[in-house]
Structure 1
Amino acid sequence: MGRPNDEVAELFQEFADLLSITGEAAYKVRAYEKAARSIAGYAEDVSTLDLKGLRRIPNVGEAIAKKILDYRETGTIRQLEAVRAKIPAGVRALTAIPTLGPKKALVLYEDLGISSVDELAEAIPAGRLEGLKGFGAKTEENILRGIELMRRAGDRVLIDVAMEVAEEIVAALSPLARRCEYAGSLRRSRETIGDVDILAAAADSGPLMETFAALPLVAEVIAHGDTKTSIRTVKGLQVDLRVVPPESWGAALQYFTGSKAHNVRTREIAVRAGLKLSEYGLFDVESGDLIVSATEEEVYERLGLPWVPPTLREDGGEIEAALRGELPRLVRLEDLRGDLHSHTDLTDGIAPLEDMVAAAAAQGWEYFAITDHAPNLFMQRMTDEKMLAQREAVHALGERHPDLTLLHGTELNIDADGEVDWPEEFLSGFDLCVASVHSLFTQDRDTMTRRIVRAVENPGVHVLGHPTARLIGRREPVDCDWDAVFESCARHHTVVEIDAFPDRLDLPADLIRRALRYGVKFSIDSDAHATGHLANLRYGVGTAQRGWLTPDDVVNTWPLDRLRDYLGTG
């Protein structure tokens, strides 16, 4: 089932959106938005907290805490239902479109009677929005792009959503199986997941299938059989369980991990060797004898290949590299010595500095950077005085954590022309500066390229944060000449970030491989806004692996002295 914190957070974000439509005071809308972020990022399970415990969540006052208790007891929030009743379902449907805000959705409904995504997709090219206040050509273009983005996402979910479901199922089934793992696109660390594939090995599939179909997260059993059972979760995600004999485990895991294109290539190699490869094993074509099937390693070895890491199995050159003996030793989570991008409640994080540092220290890292937002992101209300006071607090905390070097940094805002928040003399006081695009995402290609390159060339900027500024399923990447950006990053020793937040995973894997050609170095960062977000680094590592990165390519696997030398801050 979905994490209770996420379910409650979604309700309060919806509350905020609906209050915005009804014209409620901005401060009240912001209060629910802040509460939603805080609840989502809070480490403790809200379903286990009493009123006093809920009040300890940042931005959760007594009124909101009581609404959470109301939801736990009744399955709904009465005040939210009352607001929902005031707003037509058609308007709520339109607000699901990325780039279309709630107020514009209400205008479309009231002025044009548009009450569905399909109606809006037809109305724009038909010219029905022409002359409607606030809906110029650029707005129409953005809405159409948002509709395309939403349709492309379809029923796919972000990797963390799928992972939570997969790990819950694997934990429930493992005691009944010889082996049990998730496979498919999730094992390959794809950014979004359609169906979750679970593979188990057991002599008797019956207990596994019965237990799987009866799990609390199951809303519907789609199909039930001896070798495969499919269910749909309460959140609408399809999960397929396949059970194979223990002796077929390796071949089955290789087959069901995919990708399809990779499997085609391995089967072609088998055919040329007079063999047949399937989910049941590797067989001699003439005799029909089983040759190997128990482990993935022996299947690949019999094909003349080393074991290929799942994150590379996309027919992106991994077969050729394997045949040449040139598969990279991919970066792993345990290689990371620190995190170079995090936030506290001084800006838009929900945890105080002390808690974020304690969580980082618990990771056993060598270093940790605190990089709260700079003043040009106006809603964060940062000032020079606040930042300097935080620096003193960071230095004091460092004395309490002698095994963890704390780096005081900031996340700068790259403005329309490529300038950043502070002048060079102020920036020189930071240990580390991340610079990111936070606005004006639809600038044309040449303008955006000049903007980012100018920031990259700034001697006070060390890391280019979430470079494409995309939000998966909600905002397209910025349009940019990435070759020009990567060439500049390599020349100026500006590190390119792989932001590990599941809705970012930015830089994406295809651009990582492109940047590698220029000799770019990368950081895998959590961009944590809560202590629990540090765990997202696993998804950043998966993306880095898909980009073929080795530990040497990732600067936060390096010792601190080497990192500082590269950044020029030593």
Structure 2
Amino acid sequence: MARPNDEVETLLKEYADLIAITAGDAFKARAYEKAARAIGGYPDDISRLDADGLRGIPNVGRSIAEKVLEYLHTGSVSAVEERRARIPAGVRELIAIPTLGPKKALRLYEDLHIGSVNELAAAIEADALRDLKGFGAKTQENILHGIALLQQTGGRIPLHLAVDTAEQIVAELSGVTGCKRCTYAGSLRRVRETIGDIDVLVAAKRSAPFMEALCALPSTAEVIAQGTKKTSIRTTKGVQVDLRVLPPESWGAGLQYFTGSKAHNIRTRTLAVRQGLKLSEYGLFDVDSGQSLASRAEEDVYARLGLPWILPTLREDRGEIEAALRGELPEVVTERSIRGDLHTHTDLTDGLASLETMVAAAAERGYAYYAVTDHAPRLYMQRMTDEKMLAQRERLRELDGTRHRMRLLHGTELNIGPEGDVDWPDEFLAGFDLCVASLHSHFDLDRKAMTRRLVRACENPYVNVLGHPTTRLIGKRPGVDADWDEVFAVCARTGTALEVNAQPDRLDLCDEDVLRAREHGAKFAVNTDAHSVPHLAQLRFGVGTAQRGWLTPEDVINTWPLRRLRGFLAKGRSG
């Protein structure tokens, strides 16, 4: 289930939106947004804190702490409920559209009585917004993009929230008497970026205790269907969970079957048919005799089909069967392969923890090296200066090697300007160990201009990593329009690594773009872009995305030894 921290973060973000709609108080709304981020990134469980403890979290004052305690004690906040009651449900539905802010949503409702996503789409198609100030052709185009994004994600769950729910349920069911094995399967096991529903599997001789236990969980809000082989529930967060109990002897076949993907399973079943076999969730059987040939372990099922075990993240029918038959299945990158994180932030800019705290947390993860890359000065709200950055560098050099001998790299996240230029002159950039360069503005440039912008940034001899390259936010903002094949080719030519950003609302590059970029010979960096200690653990999502893109340790620069990494970061510069 979601941590209390995450629940409160979501609530405070909603309250910030409600304030913006009902009062237009930008300062107050911003205060709640900051508090939401601080609580979401707080490393400990906030439900264990009293009012003083909550006020010890950055950006959490007395009023916000009181609301947090009210939610933790009662499950709701009267001030939030009151604001919700003042805003029509139709406006709240419109706010869910990416690119459409709360003020515009309220105007659409008040001026044109538009109160649903479908009504808004129809109004744009009918050109009904033409006389409404602030809703020009470009704005309407952006809104339609947002509606398309909303419809694509539908009721799908973000990866990290699905993992939280699944792991809690697996932990609960694993403690039921008679449980031999328990795990989640489906698209979640394949680490897809969004999840439709959660598939949980149990191996046991009797199913009834597990079906009853699932229905009785405090997080279960509704029992959709309950049977001896399958039970479906909906959690208090609206997530559907399907539980299947398998005979222990069928565990491997069932896990393979329910992991999918559908296309991958069609290919394995086709292989079985060609060999006179039948593959189902109960096992691999000889068609003539009905004898079970493999079923207890996934490895056995694949081996009987003449295949090595295929990692779940590769099971998308993207050539993995053919590669496996040729003995060319890649040994993909794993979390253990990653020697260090090359994109992280501290409270010097928009991070939530000090340099010392982030370094200590990284060392506890067993990293050989770790980079701090706070924002550069053109991201004006962060108020970076040369003096602040140089002071951080001096402190970082003092800490270098003092935490489990972990080496520290001083970097920065540069801003790519509209023309492809970056912060700071070359002589200042030369002092950094590495530079990540990212798009933070001007997302609406046309394809040609955006491509030229990215290419110029990659050709900069001091830019080592292209951070969250497309800038997409899953379900909220589409990626920028560029000729990505040209960008990927330039990255390969210039020695600029493409980031696989592990933040679960980014996962940028996505798996399909990773596959394309890899074909061009580009290298990659799997980074967390951590703004707090808990964010460091999100590396797992970036690694899963990298695996889906078939990346090996050779493809990923932060799996390399430090000496080799430094050679790459030099990017051909003399000296």
Interval of TM-score (by shorter of Structure 1 and Structure 2)? over 0.9
Per-residue CA distance 1:316-345 (angstroms, 9 max, x = gap): 000100110000111110111100001111
Q: 1:369-408, aligned counterparts within 5 Å?
A: 369-398=371-400, 400-401=402-403, 403-408=405-410
Q: Does residue 303 in structure 1 map to residue 313 in structure 2?
A: no
Q: Which residue in the other structure is 2:343 paired with?
A: 341
For the residues of structure 2 that align with 1:139 and 1:387, how far apart are their CA atoms?
38
SS of structure 2 residue aligned to 1:400: coil
For the residues of structure 2 that align with 1:144 and 1:196, how far apart are their CA atoms?
30
**How far 1:151 moved relative to its partner?**
1.1
Q: Which residue in the other structure is 1:464 paired with?
A: 466
Give, as a single letter, the amino acid of the residue that structure 2 aligns with 1:253. Answer: L
For the residues of structure 1 that align with 2:118 and 2:520, how far apart are their CA atoms?
43
Give, as a single letter, the amino acid of the residue that structure 2 aligns with 1:219. Answer: A
Q: Does residue 175 in structure 1 map to residue 172 in structure 2?
A: no
Q: 1:62-461, aligned counterparts within 5 Å?
A: 62-176=62-176, 177-398=179-400, 400-401=402-403, 403-461=405-463
Q: 1:494-513, aligned counterparts within 5 Å?
A: 494-513=496-515
SS of structure 2 residue aligned to 1:433: strand
Q: Which residue in the other structure is 1:49 paired with?
A: 49
Q: Which residue in the other structure is 2:479 paired with?
A: 477
For the residues of structure 2 that align with 1:24 and 1:391, how far apart are their CA atoms?
40
Give, as a single letter, the amino acid of the residue that structure 1 aligns with 2:279. Answer: L
**How far 1:69 moved relative to its partner?**
1.0
Give, as a single letter, the amino acid of the residue that structure 1 aligns with 2:553. Answer: P
Structure 2 stretches lacking a partner, 5+ long: none
**How far 1:404 moved relative to its partner?**
1.1
SS of structure 2 residue aligned to 1:181: strand
> How many corresponding residue pairs?
570
SS of structure 2 residue aligned to 1:19: helix
Give, as a single letter, the amino acid of the residue that structure 2 aligns with 1:366. Answer: A
For the residues of structure 1 that align with 2:391 and 2:133, how far apart are their CA atoms?
46
**How far 1:87 moved relative to its partner?**
2.5
Q: Which residue in the other structure is 2:554 paired with?
A: 552
Q: Which residue in the other structure is 2:544 paired with?
A: 542
Give, as a single letter, the amino acid of the residue that structure 2 aligns with 1:370. Answer: V
**How far 1:402 moved relative to its partner?**
5.7
Residues 464, 569 of structure 2: 8 Å contact kept = yes
For the residues of structure 2 that align with 1:74 and 1:327, how far apart are their CA atoms?
52
**How far 1:130 moved relative to its partner?**
0.2
**How far 1:24 moved relative to its partner?**
3.9
Q: Which residue in the other structure is 2:14 paired with?
A: 14
For the residues of structure 2 that align with 1:345 and 1:356, how far apart are their CA atoms?
10
Residues 455, 490 of structure 2: 8 Å contact kept = yes
For the residues of structure 1 that align with 2:62 and 2:359, how far apart are their CA atoms?
28
**How far 1:375 moved relative to its partner?**
1.1
For the residues of structure 2 that align with 1:408 and 1:354, how far apart are their CA atoms?
13
For the residues of structure 1 that align with 2:280 and 2:28, how far apart are their CA atoms?
59
Q: CA RMSD in A?
A: 1.2
SS of structure 2 residue aligned to 1:36: helix
Per-residue CA distance 1:41-64 (angstroms, 9 max, x = gap): 111111111111111111111221
Q: Which moved more, 1:372-381 or 1:322-331?
A: 372-381
**How far 1:423 moved relative to its partner?**
1.2
For the residues of structure 2 that align with 1:74 and 1:271, how far apart are their CA atoms?
57
Give, as a single letter, the amino acid of the residue that structure 2 aligns with 1:51. Answer: A
For the residues of structure 2 that align with 1:284 and 1:366, how far apart are their CA atoms?
51
Per-residue CA distance 1:262-314 (angstroms, 9 max, x = gap): 10001111101101011110111111111111111111111111111111111
SS of structure 1 residue aligned to 2:175: helix
Q: Which residue in the other structure is 2:518 paired with?
A: 516
Per-residue CA distance 1:355-414 (angstroms, 9 max, x = gap): 111110111111111111111111211121211121122122226326111111111111
Q: TM-score, normalised by structure 2?
A: 0.97
For the residues of structure 2 that align with 1:225 and 1:82, how far apart are their CA atoms?
41
SS of structure 2 residue aligned to 1:145: helix
- CA 1:301 to 1:402, structure 2 compared with 1: closer, same or farther past 3 Å? closer
SS of structure 2 residue aligned to 1:369: strand
For the residues of structure 2 that align with 1:327 and 1:39, how far apart are their CA atoms?
42
For the residues of structure 2 that align with 1:439 and 1:552, how far apart are their CA atoms?
32
For the residues of structure 2 that align with 1:214 and 1:175, how far apart are their CA atoms?
14
Give, as a single letter, the amino acid of the residue that structure 2 aligns with 1:256. Answer: F
Q: TM-score, normalised by structure 1?
A: 0.98
Residues 401, 407 of structure 2: 8 Å contact kept = no
Give, as a single letter, the amino acid of the residue that structure 2 aligns with 1:353. Answer: L
